Amino acid sequence: MKQVKYRNSASKLLLLGTVFLFSLMNPVFAQEEAATTEAATAESATGGDVAKGEALFKSLCAACHKRYKKMTGPALFGVADKYEREWIYSWVKNSAAMIASGDARAVAIYEEYKRTPMNAFPQLTNTDIDNILAYVMVPKGPSGPTGVTGTTPTVVDNSGASTTLILGALVLVFLMLVVVLFLVNKTLRSFAEANGVEFAEEEVRTPIWKAFVQNQFLVLVSAIFVLLASGYFVYGYLMQVGVDQGYMPIQPIHYSHKIHAGDNKIECKYCHSSARVSKHSGIPSLNVCMNCHKSIAEVAESTATDEYSKEFYDGEIKKLYKAVGWDEAEQAYTGKTEPVKWVRIHNLPDFAYFNHSQHVSVAGVECQTCHGPVEEMEIMYQHAPLTMGWCINCHRETNVKVEGNEYYEKIHAELSKKYGVDKLTAAQMGGLECGKCHY
Amino acid sequence: MSSNKKYWKSVEELNENSSIVETLQQNEFVQEIPTDEFLGDKSSLENSSTTRRDFLKYVGFSTAAASLAACEGPVIKSIPYVVQPDRIVPGVANYYATTIADGFDFASVLIKTREGRPIKVENNNLATSNGEANARVHASVLSLYDSSRLKGPKKGAEDISWSELDKEVGAKLNGLGGKKIVLLTQTFASPSTSKLIAEFKAKYANVSQVVYDSVSYSEALDAYEMMYGERALADYDFSKVNTVVSIAADFLGDWQGGGYDGGYAQGRVPKNGKMSKHIQFEANMSLSGANADNRIQATPTQQKQVLAALYKYVTGAGSKGALDATLDAEVVKAAKHIQKAGSNAVVVSGIQDVDAQLLVLAINKHINSKAFNENTPRKIRQGNSKAVAQLVKDMNAGRVGALLIAGVNPVYSLPNAQEFKDGLEKVDLSVAFSMHNDETASVCNYIATTPHYLESWGDVELKKGSYSLMQPTIRPLFDTRQFQETLLKWTGNSASYNDYIKDAWTGVLGGTSWSQALHDGVLVKPILPKESLEEAINTPEGEVVEETPAGPNVGAAARRLATAKANGLELTLYTKTALGDGQQANNPWLQEMPDPITRASWDNYLTISRADAESLGLINENVANGALNGSYATVTVNGVNVTAPVIIQPGQAKGSVGLALGYGKTAGLKEEMQVGVNAFALYQNQNAVQPVTLAKAEGTHEFACVQLHNTLMGRGDIIKETTLEIFNTKDKHVWNAVPEVSKNHIEYEVTSPEVDLWDEFDRSVGHHFNLSIDLNACTGCGACVIACHAENNVPVVGKSEMRRSRDMHWLRIDRYYSSQESFEGDNAKKDAISGLGSSLSEFGEMEVPSDNPEVAFQPVMCQHCNHAPCETVCPVAATSHGRQGQNHMAYNRCVGTRYCANNCPYKVRRFNWFLYNENDEFDYHMNNDLGRMVINPDVTVRSRGVMEKCSMCIQMTQKTILDAKRDGRVIKDGEFQTACSAACSSGAMTFGDINDKDSKVAKLKEDNRMYHLLEHVGTKPNVMYQTKVRNTTEA
């Protein structure tokens, strides 16, 4: 037996060694990095500073214009070739006046874009406009607009592929090892037989299960153990009934909180505005989405990940347009809407009353306290168990935010005197009473 | 089996050759068991492809599948708006001011909407007249979600589109060949509608309008017209007077459209030792009579004589007829009160007689009553009985070409309904503007389906100069079009009715903006006293106003009244608080609302005096299951028979009976709601008083009456009462003594901490809610009962469950009769009882109410005891106490032992014996999607097997607190409300925080009149009552 044991540990050592070796190989893959492209800050053909132009474009024009695509206003690429400079200068500075004066081309644009007047920008100098034109005249390169302005390190993330590779290799090595060991064992045994080595006959012992049955004490102890353990697990299982922590349903539109709240740092309550005043946080209505998505019809290249491509995300935005009835080509609402049937993730039972505004506006609790790291969630899921124990625990531990709230002044003074504390928890304020949440 | 005894199983065994014994030995049953009946014949069994094994497989599979499916939670969808309206925030209620004007109820109200659904009616505090919603108005929000409403226009039984209807009706209207077009409408009291009808008249030739009130005020209108030249009703402001003499006017009920209780109650609460005096002469026991200081029984004929006598005593003119001596004495007393009060008195009368109404106007004019303002008469009743009668004649004579019926149901509510129906067949074109396929609509050619008032635009001139606007609070649920919209179409006007009103209101608005008027819902324009101006010009100096020659002959009227003669038993038809004229008969809240007087729900019945009942052999009895049964009686008026159940009504004048209108509807409503008998059949000439003959009929009626014990048995501590004199002169301990207990041979008040068995909760911090109920101001109107229903999702259980005393009302209004002349007499009698013999006989006597009892109302809901007996007995701690004084009830924790209900001394806990929602056995509003739209989303809908009770509207107090927290401010007195206190138009209920020492409720708690219900039990309730004070002073 000892031999076998020894051999076993030898094989383990071998295995560990292989794993170590492979793990050393890993960084070799990871160290591959893409080369960075140089910035091209050259004076463009139209004679303007592209970088300055870009800054101006983004601050003033981007709300209504894109370079290669029609938006509220026309796509601006090629505009410098189409119109003469002077005309553009006066148009930008005061388009309304041009239309009023009856300039044929001005009127044509005005009519084409449904009589949406363009803001006047008298503050722009001709040089400024030149710069902007320089920027918009940059042709659409294969790497997109980012190629012109600066460098974006393209991170090649190979970790996914390499892990599979390593695992596959490991499995292979492991199988080989098993085969080798088996063969070695067989060979040794045949050698031993050939050399006439005799194996010691093993004593016939009572089988272990019989011994176990004979040992009443052991049976009792293990029975108690099994009962307790099963009780523990059954209780645990039952306590999970109706608790949907981690519930992550597939939504009709793949909405990424990571992109919105994480990457773009949009404040939660910008969309979930009713959380401030209502018991419901409110799923934003589609017109709220359109506040931004009217001008964001596609995601940036950099938004795409291995898992979700740019085409995928763009497709999801198309779904929004379909639901809200937005005609991209016409830049207008068609009036044909189909409300989105989101799958509700956080479901409190009917007999529990919860009010968002109480927690968000009055107590100033961060959304993440209950909803978890939403800004990192590509797909939204239920972070908290939403059980009563979980609620109560927080009420016991959390101090009421009384500062600057006139409502609390008197009650805080009296209660803190009563309990002899400086800070009051929600529980001390009466937050554990049944009727506060159940009515 | 050691013995050989033979046991005989039957006599048959003695007969040795009995075939039965033989058969029984072979076979257990003599007759063959008909197995075929449930197994079917063998061949069909074998032909079936489902074998037993297959069957078991299916059962097994479906069980497994069901349990597997149950493991996964349901997927709940959330659908946000595509474009969210600016004003709607999900979870936050919006309020809109609007007006109900259904021809019977007129009130300016606020509608609470949640996510665009109207869910509750509130009083509009900006309104100066008719701003108080009664029980029916509170319940009207449920009628919006009535599943029996018509879903679109109809031609006969077929659906039709609006455009086709317009085309067909338009063609017919133009091709009548000179025959009359008649608009038979409810009272709209709407300036815009009047204008529109005038335009309609101009467009089509020969159009006339007949205004029809199902419950007529034609005589009062005639009298006012004779006196003041304007067809309207005299309006009274009871808050301005201290003496009210009413002769059969139930002004706390539906008299002249109601809305008088607020003003009346102001004078009823003793202030500085003074309160108003109210004397009521009447036949039926009405709410007003129940609240009166002196209630004098008088049959309808006697009422006329009383009025004539009163006129004589007050003015000195006229003559009194053969008035009963005791009545005469009472009239003298009343007259003295009026004379003493002078212009601070008012006389009102509900006698349907032009003479009587003239006399009332003359008396009020004579004493120059402050309550009566002749410049602002009420416009909310305009019906003309004579015109309606003439219309029926014209229809039968074939003179009517087209009949457009709007807002009324004459086939149901006319006594000569059959005649009307016959006449309708002779009319070329009949169009009903109706929400339901009711009796009238179902016999008309077309039904131009109308929306509910909560889906409509409109304007109402409640009284001269007091305008109220109606605006939709929800998009029309069905394909409906309101009457005015349709008229606009038919007059070729393309404007919407909304714009039409706006346009018509340019003159009304004055300096106010349209938006402001719409926001407020009401607009009051000062009315110049036109009459006085004219009089100043026309009347020569020195002439007395009464002698205006053009005026009606009041003296002759008085003479006619004085000689009124009775002709046997007299029936007075009345309207019940719950159903009114029966428009909302399909409203389960109203059907289930117990009548304030009889406490019976789901019924109408003949009320009769004890003496008359005994002489006719009519009985009421409480049967073994604790419910009330009664005999039937047949009433005959002019050959028309109606058989109705009988309730013996204490206080009913001998020689008179009463029967409520509004019941017995059969068309366009659910079967459960088709209760009672149609008393409109007896409403001959639209007169509420009819000479009748009465005979006992076969059978026993099962009532759903929630209060079977009618007297207090001298337990004066339940309703504490005193007289104004004692109240003013004696110490509080005399008339409002706190019960005492003895400890170490020292008497302590039970409220003293010295004798408290319990540890006191500390409620000095934060809010401590108390509700005060003033028994002097409470008129028993029941608005709070319905408001509570609406706010708290209280289920409706139906007649048979009500009969089993399983009603779910969180708030009930107990009504007690005295068994002696007064409650004081009861107390004296009880105190005098000594010994077994005396207690056996006299307590028995005290169970019987007096023939003319004093009446007291007491709203009772959970008393929210600080030492609550229910809390200590709950085995699962489902009911517990909050620091704010509320007794909480956690439904999800309750296991339904009902210990709490057993231990509650106030009997206010309600048990869900069944599942009352989504259950076909209880097919009321909670059993259909439409009806469930009225549910308040902030309150749990309870399930079967849990206890529930008044929560003191914790959802409302919590909301008030949260709003203040969010704004970072202190809560003002008056902000805290419960559904009942907000609905109470008489100001009887005051809710608030007693830790706010300046609050109204804190002051009421220190009031001398304050007491707690069953104080000796030591429960220390957070609901308090204010001792009732009766003004028994004589002038």
Contact B76 A343 (CB under 8 A): yes
**CB-CB contact of A271 with A293 (8 Å):** no
- pLDDT for A8 equals 46
Q: How confident is the model at residue B1014 (pLDDT cuts 50, 70, 90)?
A: very high
Q: Which of B89, B876, B938, B972 to mutate to test the interface with A (most CBs of A within 10 A)?
A: B89
Contact A362 B962 (CB under 8 A): yes
- pLDDT for A30 equals 39
SS3 label, residue B662: coil
Q: Which residue does chain A place closest to B80, by CA atoms?
A: A285
Same domain assignment for residues A361 and A333: yes
- pLDDT for B324 equals 84
Distance CA B593, CA B578 (A): 6
CA angle (B805 as vertex; B803, B807 as ends), nearest 5: 100
Distance CA A282, CA A194 (A): 83
Distance CA B365, CA B988 (A): 32
Question: How does pLDDT run across B204-252, given as a tens digit for each residue?
Answer: 888 999 999 999 999 999 999 998 888 999 999 999 999 999 999 999 9
- pLDDT for B544 equals 39
Question: How does pLDDT run across B58-71, given as a tens digit for each residue?
Answer: 888 888 777 766 66
Q: What count of other Cβ atoms lies within 10 Å of the Cβ of residue B331?
A: 29
The nearest CA of chain B is from the CA of A264 a distance in Å of: 23
**CB-CB contact of B297 with B654 (8 Å):** yes
Specify the DSSP class assigned to residue A36. Answer: P
Question: How does pLDDT run across B960-980, given as a tens digit for each residue?
Answer: 999 999 999 999 999 999 999
Nearest to B73 among A244, A404, A436 (CB): A244
Same domain assignment for residues A237 and A273: no
Distance CA B210, CA B383 (A): 8
Same domain assignment for residues A270 and A374: yes
Residue A5 belongs to what H/E stretch?
Answer: helix A2-30
Select from B1029, B969, B975 the least CA-distant residue to B1000.
Answer: B975
pLDDT above 90 (res B143) = yes
- Answer whether residue A56 is part of any domain: yes
- Answer whether residue A2 is part of any domain: no
Q: How confident is the model at residue B163 (pLDDT cuts 50, 70, 90)?
A: very high
Mean pLDDT across B380-408: 93
Same domain assignment for residues A368 and A319: yes
Q: Does B965 touch chain A (CB under 8 A)?
A: yes
Contact B938 A353 (CB under 8 A): yes
Which ranges in B754-798 belong to alpha helices (H)?
783-792
Q: Which of B72, B768, B940, B965 to mutate to test the interface with A (most CBs of A within 10 A)?
A: B965
From the CA atom positions of chain A, what is the Rg in Å?
35
Question: How does pLDDT run across B511-559, given as a tens digit for each residue?
Answer: 889 999 999 999 988 776 554 444 444 434 443 344 444 567 888 888 8
Same domain assignment for residues A269 and A372: yes
Residue of A103 and B285 predicted with greater confidence:
B285
Q: How confident is the model at residue B39 (pLDDT cuts 50, 70, 90)?
A: low
Contacts of B958 in chain A (CB under 8 A): 353, 436, 439
End-to-end CA distance of chain B: 97
Residue at which a domain ends, from A367, A385, A403: A385
pLDDT above 90 (res B766) = no
Number of structural domains (chain A) is: 4
Q: How far is CA A74 from CA A89, A114, B64, B739, in A?
A: 16, 12, 62, 88
- Answer whether residue A101 is part of any domain: yes
**CB-CB contact of B633 with B643 (8 Å):** yes
Same domain assignment for residues A55 and A98: yes
From the CA atom positions of chain B, what is the Rg in Å?
32
Structural domain boundaries enclosing A422: 387-439
Residues 914-943 of B with CB under 8 A from A: 938-941
End-to-end CA distance of chain A: 70
Size of the A and B interface in Cβ pairs below 8 Å? 152
Contact B888 A415 (CB under 8 A): no
Percentage of residues of chain B with pLDDT beyond 70? 94
- pLDDT for B2 equals 57
- pLDDT for A2 equals 38
> Could you tell me the CATH number of the domain that includes residue A103?
1.10.760.10
- Answer whether residue A266 is part of any domain: yes
- Answer whether residue A212 is part of any domain: yes
Same domain assignment for residues A232 and A320: no
Distance CA A386, CA A345 (A): 11
Q: How confident is the model at residue B715 (pLDDT cuts 50, 70, 90)?
A: confident
- pLDDT for B705 equals 92
Same domain assignment for residues A360 and A372: yes
- Answer whether residue A83 is part of any domain: yes
Residues 396-415 of B with CB under 8 A from A: none
Nearest to B951 among A341, A418, A439 (CB): A439
Sign for the pseudo-dihedral over CA of B473, B477, B479, B482:
negative
- pLDDT for A40 equals 40
Pairing of strands B1023-1026, B769-774: parallel
Distance CA B274, CA B728 (A): 9
Question: CB neighbours of B605 closer than 8 A, spacing ≥ 6?
Answer: B598, B630, B644, B645, B646, B647, B659, B660, B676, B701, B703
Burial class (CB in 10 A: 0-12, 13-18, 19+), B629: middle
Select from B570, B545, B775, B778 the least CA-distant residue to B657.
Answer: B570
Pairing of strands B106-114, B93-101: antiparallel
Q: Which residue does chain B place closest to A401, by CA atoms?
A: B965
**Per-chain mean pLDDT for chain B:** 89
Mean pLDDT across B575-598: 93
Residue at which a domain ends, from A120, A145, A170: A145
**CB-CB contact of B92 with A278 (8 Å):** yes
Same domain assignment for residues A328 and A370: yes
Contacts of B90 in chain A (CB under 8 A): 274, 278, 280, 282
Task: Locate the DSSP E strands across B626-714.
Answer: 628-637, 640-648, 656-661, 689-702, 704-705
Distance CA B505, CA B1027 (A): 48
Q: What count of other Cβ atoms lies within 10 Å of the Cβ of residue B322?
A: 10
- pLDDT for B543 equals 38
Chain centroid to CA B397: 40
* Residue B1030: strand pairing partners: B723
Contact A277 B92 (CB under 8 A): yes
Residues 57-76 of B with CB under 8 A from A: 73, 75-76
- pLDDT for A59 equals 81
Residue at which a domain ends, from A122, A145, A168: A145
- pLDDT for A130 equals 86
Q: How confident is the model at residue B875 (pLDDT cuts 50, 70, 90)?
A: very high
Nearest to B951 among A407, A409, A435 (CB): A435
Distance CA B430, CA B443 (A): 9
Residue of A159 and B793 predicted with greater confidence:
B793
Same domain assignment for residues A392 and A282: no
Same domain assignment for residues A405 and A294: no
Q: Which residue does chain A place closest to B764, by CA atoms?
A: A414
Task: Locate the DSSP E strands across B134-248.
Answer: 154-155, 158-159, 180-185, 207-211, 243-247
Contacts of B80 in chain A (CB under 8 A): 282-286, 339-340, 342
Contact A406 B90 (CB under 8 A): no
Distance CA B238, CA A275 (A): 48
Per-residue pLDDT of chain A (439 residues; tens, 9 = 90+): 334 444 444 445 444 555 454 444 444 343 443 333 333 444 444 567 888 888 888 888 887 888 887 777 888 888 878 888 888 888 888 888 888 888 888 888 888 887 778 888 888 888 888 888 888 888 876 544 444 444 444 444 445 567 889 999 999 999 999 999 999 999 998 888 888 777 666 677 788 888 888 889 999 999 999 999 999 999 988 887 778 888 899 999 999 999 999 999 999 999 999 999 999 998 999 999 999 998 888 888 888 888 899 999 999 999 999 999 998 888 889 989 999 999 999 998 889 999 999 999 999 999 999 999 999 999 999 999 999 999 999 999 999 888 888 998 888 888 888 888 888 888 888 889 999 999 8
- pLDDT for A118 equals 84
Chain centroid to CA A366: 18
- Answer whether residue A137 is part of any domain: yes
Same domain assignment for residues A407 and A327: no
Expressed in percent and rounded to 5, the helix, strand and coil fractions of chain A are: 55, 0, 45
CA angle (B675 as vertex; B639, B105 as ends), nearest 5: 90
Sign for the pseudo-dihedral over CA of B973, B978, B980, B985:
positive
- Answer whether residue A32 is part of any domain: no
The nearest CA of chain A is from the CA of B114 a distance in Å of: 12
Q: How far is CA A228 from CA A217, A225, A238, A376, in A?
A: 16, 5, 15, 40
- pLDDT for B893 equals 92
